[in-house]
Amino acid sequence: MKQMTTTLVRAALSLLTAALTLAPLGAQTALAQPSIILVMPDDVGYGDYACLGNPIMRTPSVDAFKKESLLLTQFHVSPTCAPCRSALMSGRHEFKNGVTHTILERERMTLKTFTLPQMLKTVGYTSGIFGKWHLGDEEAYRPEHRGFDEVYIHGGGGIGQTYPGSCGDAPGNTTSWACARTPSSFSGAITAGNWAFAATRWAGSCRS
């Protein structure tokens, strides 16, 4: 686990990611259930990694991460970010989640969606998200209300996005910059390194 955590930091430093980290609650539960680290890079294709067959690109951090991980090959991505994220968060087609685009508030995942962290919570997991969410910036849609216990994210589709239709211009939106939503989150400069640091520190606290 320590080696995997180190690799996660290296991977996050080289990719702008959202990391979903889930840890079992309690010592007895931890013995029976594995910790889960799910890293979702933005705008990267399956064939962009050396470990998946690219003959030109060098991706040593991701290659090392893959060697320590379970490789899932049957997830079919959507054309853009938010729809793909909603499918990953729910296990169903993005249209059933009400997500059809990344702008004009069409990224808001319906409140009827039962999410992955909500499901895992029923079997004893606690979860955190670090980096990008992009499934709704309004209060009810934010990850802290969708099953996540620890949240350190930026709003919209990118850091500081506030152009018309970007979600950053939505009335009452306060997450167009990096923000900590729970007390123990790391609060510092807006960098992938700090998100990785926050994720690994929080995951370590869950194990202690």
Please list the active-site residues.
81, 134
- Distance of alpha carbon 112 from alpha carbon 172, whole angstroms: 22
Contact 118, 111 (CB under 8 A): no
The number of residues making up the chain comes to 208
Structure-block tokens of residue 184: 């123990």
**Complete DSSP assignment for the chain:** -HHHHHHHHHHHHHS-EEEEEEEESSHHHHHHS--EEEEEESS--GGGSGGGT-SS---HHHHHHHHTSPPP--PPPPSSHHHHHHHHHHSS-GGGGT---SSTTTTPPPTT---HHHHHHTTTEEEEEEEE--S--SGGGSGGGTT-SEEEEE-TTSTT--STTSSTTSTT---SS-EE-STTS----S-HHHHHHHHHHHHHHHH-
- Distance of alpha carbon 111 from alpha carbon 97, whole angstroms: 8
